[in-house]
Amino acid sequence: MEYMDIAALKAFIAVADSGSFSAAAERLFLTQPAVSKRIAALENELGARLFDRIGRTVTTTEAGNTLLPRAQSILVELEDSVRVISNLSGAVHGTLRFGTSHHIGLHRLPPALKQFSRKYPQVRLDIRFMDSEAACTAVEQGELELGIVTLPPDPAPGLSTELVWQDPLNIMVARNHPLARKRKVRLNDLAQHPAILPASNTYTRQIAAQAFRRLGLELDIALSTNYLETIRMLTSVGIGWSLLPATMLDRQLKKLPVPELVLRRSLGVVYHRERTLSNAARALIEQLQ
């Protein structure tokens, strides 16, 4: 074997991650035949089939599963080397790939990104909108350079975090909700009514569940969705109460006084502690702070 084509490795990882040749092609800005050609060349070079194609389903074979972590490691090391060399010039340019949640992207990032883009027009921003938990995993695996997210209460050993914003959380209900008339609300009162909260694997849901468990109470979950804008809408029409950032309070909602529950999320930046940050990443972190 003379060499292993980096472009082919990128195509392999994209197909493995997305489970689709067409989705991989969109992600890489290539045609689907071009992706198929690269995969075929890599399979021919390795002498092994990397994917099983059954109908529209694409899954990695045993050989593909063996190659995947190694291919990811090769690309992470290559990108890290490119950043180290690029940083020597001191210039702020290139592509900055980062993930952020829809809420932060809508309510926190715009002013900072506006200033950043004006100051560093040579930086191409590749922004991926995803759950905070998924962004942290992508940073840990080297798929993203930064995550601008709800900071994990217990970060993975390889991750570094920097606080940017404190995000107070309030219990909110529709103005016609039975609890809206109470002067003081206890957690036991909330337990008697259905809640609308993010999925159980999210940091916001974990914050709420821990508070209830301390008093031996269980949450009655009516609906779960990870989009806070959707949760606010569902709460405003009276389906249940919710735990939302204070910044989302509007005329359709009422904040409930719950002395037992004073909660907040920490929002900020996550990056891998053992990988070199590009000048662009450093500049964005500085702009956020």
Distance (Å, rounded) from C-alpha 39 to C-alpha 49?
A: 9
| Residue 57, H or E segment | strand 57-60
In the chain, where the domains are located: 6-85, 92-164+269-288, 166-266
Q: Does the pTM exceed 0.85?
A: no
Residue indicated by tokens 């920490």 = 266
Residue indicated by tokens 């290139």 = 94
- Residue 113 CB neighbour total at 10 angstroms: 18
Q: Looking at the domain that runs over 92-164+269-288, which CATH code has it been given? A: 3.40.190.10
If you compute the radius of gyration of the chain from its CA atoms, what whole number of angstroms results? 23
The identity of residue 245, as a single letter, is: P
Reading the chain (289 residues) residue by residue, the pLDDT tens digits are 445 688 888 899 889 988 889 888 888 888 989 999 999 989 888 888 999 888 778 899 999 999 988 888 888 778 777 777 766 667 777 889 999 998 899 889 999 999 999 999 999 999 999 989 899 999 988 889 999 999 988 888 899 999 999 999 899 999 999 999 888 888 888 889 999 988 888 877 887 788 788 878 888 888 888 788 899 999 999 999 998 999 899 999 999 988 877 788 899 999 998 888 888 999 999 999 8
The identity of residue 69, as a single letter, is: P
Domains 92-164+269-288 and 166-266 agree in fold: yes
Q: Looking at the domain that runs over 6-85, which CATH code has it been given? A: 1.10.10.10
Report the CATH fold assignment for 166-266: D-Maltodextrin-Binding Protein; domain 2 (3.40.190)
